[in-house]
Amino acid sequence: RMMYPVIRKLQHKRVVLASASPRRQEILSQAGLRFEVVPSRFKEKLNKSSFPTPHAYAIETAKQKALDVARRMHQKDLRTPDIIIGADTIVTIEGLILEKPVDKQDAYWMLSRLNGKEHSVFTGVAIIHCFSQDGQLDVEISQFYEETVVMFSQLSEELLWEYIHSGEPMDKAGGYGIQALGGMLVESIHGDFLNVVGFPLNHFCKKLAELYFPPGAVGLQRVKHDSIPAVDTFENLSEEEGAGLDRGGAQARGTQDAGHDRTAESLPPFPTGLLELIAGFQASKALFTACKLKVFDLLQHEAPLQAVDIASKIDTSEHGTGRLLDVCVALGLLEKTERGYSNSDLAALYLLSDGEFSLHGFIELNDEHTWAAFTHLESDVREGSSRGHRAVGDEAEGLLQDSCPGRDARLCFMRAKHGLAKLTAHQVATALDLSRFTSACHLGGCTGALAHKLAREYPRLTVTVFDLPEVIEHVTCFQPSGPQTEQVSFVPGDFFKDSLPEADLYVLSGILHDWPDEKVHRLLSRISGSCKPGGGLLVAEVALDEDPRAARPGLLRSLSRLLQTQGGERSLTKSRQLLQLHGFTDVQVARTGDVLHVVLATRPAT
């Protein structure tokens, strides 16, 4: 219970973690700390050679991450957080700093350097206390690092590549994660295991205890700014300015604080996560509405703008528009200054209707169809079927038939599919080695986003997209330019009824979860009958995880399919059994990102 006295001190403080790392979030959550997550945008471009030690580099990076969040939150006129936690984990060997690999070859280079050797994992941590008065931001900085020594086993090339193809190394410092599959690479460790995972919880607890129950304040820097300056300004901060966290009158408050703590002991932990979950639909609807009103499109071309000007241009009320815009600021979708509102980086990348990686179509689909279907969830759960309502994610049948008939509905569905495919196509195309195939057929390939990515990655591969005639009719407006377009062709047809085009490799992406087992067996049987010996089937799906919390996205999608086809996500074990039942004996699996699995199954050669 090392954290317990500190938790009581932090219970009514606003704590922010300046990291999007799910591993750090899990470590701190399990320790009982209540916090918000505001990922840092600090570009990790510090000159490594200018630091005397690797841990000095990690500490400075952690500090700059936390200061970036402090600056942004202060400038947005949001309530200043009390504490911001920044962290940076690096792997070092023979004086060389290894961060996250940029691609599979880089991951192989890193793991080869570590193979059979001992290396160090450093995590730098910065704890920033923020105080704001009359528009001035005052910060106190405490920082430390933790080192853990890790010994790798001597591993074969085959095992290294198998691990790399799993996709796990790509967001891990040094190219491995000790808490998951990467644990098989490690022979021994000396030091804090959680430090290797990404956050030194034990040292963090001790540091907080020093800060809140100090024999004397040590290691703090106090810096005052009207607004936190740009990163470069912090490179020459003086060593120790000021002392201690407790300002004047601490002893006078002692009796009052003690009484307050006794009351706090009897209270359960504040359910921040649960409250956010309860109100989650409000945030979703605010996002959907802002997209529907084309707020982000407007601000991409004319920004910054005041609320009154935005309201005039989108024909809405000034009062309602101002409220919506402020909510979007709080959600990280917009930024606000004295000059007005402008798009955040997140909105500029994903929320423009014509952006390269736009999710506008997917948002439109959820707003127009999935939202309406979920309003009937209670009765649908009671009856086990939709009573005519449909929850539409990427299910072509519902959109192309009675759920939303007509050209506009088809284009709505296709825009949603296209946006999601653009985000995942590279991961799917590169998760496993497909270089031996010369022809592929993407069944239900819609706009061809994945087909074009496969053609780009494998210049010898020709790809046929096979989808319903009413889909093929509208694919022209989604086609890119470039030489790879000649490798991709479109053929209309129904993969449950019509003859499948000949190919060495058949591709199913986001298809099997749309159908119940009976139809899945039918489809796999047709593919197996068309697939030549030595040919393959590439399947990309959201697979259910053994841990329900990790499987949440898949489970939610599975629940939505209760309202339609009785389909849903299947576990990897069940998916493997389905493929093997239809003659695909050699099954390789790679996990990409958080929940998407890519499976390559091969028919045995005669």
For residue 81, pLDDT over 90 is answered with no
Confidence at 462, pLDDT banded by 50, 70, 90? very high
The span from the first CA to the last CA of the chain, in angstroms, equals 63
Would the pTM count as exceeding 0.85?
Answer: no
Residue 442 vs residue 518, higher pLDDT: 442
Confidence at 409, pLDDT banded by 50, 70, 90? low
Answer whether 394's CB lies under 8 Å from 510's CB: yes
Residue 141 vs residue 8, higher pLDDT: 141
Flag whether 302 is in a domain. Answer: yes
Flag whether 182 is in a domain. Answer: yes
Flag whether 104 is in a domain. Answer: yes
**Domains held by the chain: number:** 3
Catalytic-role residue among 68, 88, 192, 297: 88
Q: Let me know how long the chain is.
A: 606
* Same domain flag for 567 and 486: yes
Pairing of strands 96-98, 136-152: unpaired
DSSP state of 593: T
Flag whether 440 is in a domain. Answer: yes
Phi then psi dihedrals of residue 484, to 5 deg: -70, -20
In sequence order, the β-bridge partners of residue 491 are 466
* Same domain flag for 245 and 286: no
- Rounded to the nearest integer, the mean pLDDT of the chain is 78
* Same domain flag for 62 and 114: yes
Residue 600 vs residue 31, higher pLDDT: 600
For residue 466, pLDDT over 80 is answered with yes
Q: How far apart are CA 125 and CA 542, in angstroms?
A: 34
Mean pLDDT is lowest, of 112-121, 221-230, 570-579, for 221-230
Q: How far apart are CA 418 and CA 421, in angstroms?
A: 5
* Same domain flag for 176 and 297: no
* Same domain flag for 237 and 308: no
Provide the CATH number for the domain around residue 294. Answer: 1.10.10.10
- Token pair 């979950």 is found at 277
Q: How far apart are CA 488 and CA 328, in angstroms?
A: 40
* Same domain flag for 57 and 143: yes
Task: State the average pLDDT over residues 123-137.
Answer: 83
Confidence at 102, pLDDT banded by 50, 70, 90? confident
Task: State the average pLDDT over residues 194-215.
Answer: 83
* Same domain flag for 202 and 326: no
Predicted confidence at residue 275, as pLDDT, reads 77
Flag whether 177 is in a domain. Answer: yes
Confidence at 215, pLDDT banded by 50, 70, 90? low
Flag whether 229 is in a domain. Answer: yes
Predicted confidence at residue 238, as pLDDT, reads 30
Provide the CATH number for the domain around residue 66. Answer: 3.90.950.10
Task: State the average pLDDT over residues 446-461.
Answer: 90
Task: State the average pLDDT over residues 396-410.
Answer: 48
* Same domain flag for 135 and 28: yes
Residue 448 vs residue 276, higher pLDDT: 448
Predicted confidence at residue 394, as pLDDT, reads 37
What pLDDT, in 10s, does the model give residues 259-297? 444 444 456 766 777 777 788 888 889 999 999 999 999
For residue 403, pLDDT over 60 is answered with no
Q: How far apart are CA 360 and CA 240, in angstroms?
A: 49
600 sits in the region (left: phi over 0; alpha: psi -120 to 50; else beta) called beta
For the purposes of burial, counting CB atoms within 10 Å of the CB of 343, is it exposed (0-12), middle (13-18) or buried (19 or more)? buried
Domain boundary among 355, 372, 402: 355
Question: For residues 26-39, b (16+ Cβ closer than 10 Å) or e, as one string?
Answer: ebbeebebbbeebe
* Same domain flag for 247 and 323: no
Residue 294: domain span: 280-355
* Same domain flag for 331 and 438: no
Mean pLDDT is lowest, of 77-91, 186-200, 258-272, for 258-272
What pLDDT, in 10s, does the model give residues 153-185? 888 888 888 888 888 888 788 888 887 788 888
Flag whether 273 is in a domain. Answer: no
Predicted confidence at residue 4, as pLDDT, reads 52
Whether 68 is a known active-site residue: answer: no
Residue 235 vs residue 284, higher pLDDT: 284
Domain boundary among 355, 372, 406: 355
For residue 242, pLDDT over 70 is answered with no
Residue 238 vs residue 183, higher pLDDT: 183
Residue 96 vs residue 513, higher pLDDT: 96
> CB under 8 Å to 515, separation ≥6 — which residues?
523, 565, 567
Q: Measuring CA to CA, which residue among 512, 508, 507, 531 is closest to residue 582? A: 531
Confidence at 79, pLDDT banded by 50, 70, 90? low
Q: How does DSSP assign 373-417, residue by residue?
A: HHTTHHHHHHHTS-TT----SS-HHHHHTTSS-SHHHHHHHHHHH
Predicted confidence at residue 334, as pLDDT, reads 92
Provide the CATH number for the domain around residue 542. Answer: 3.40.50.150
Flag whether 18 is in a domain. Answer: yes
Predicted confidence at residue 10, as pLDDT, reads 72
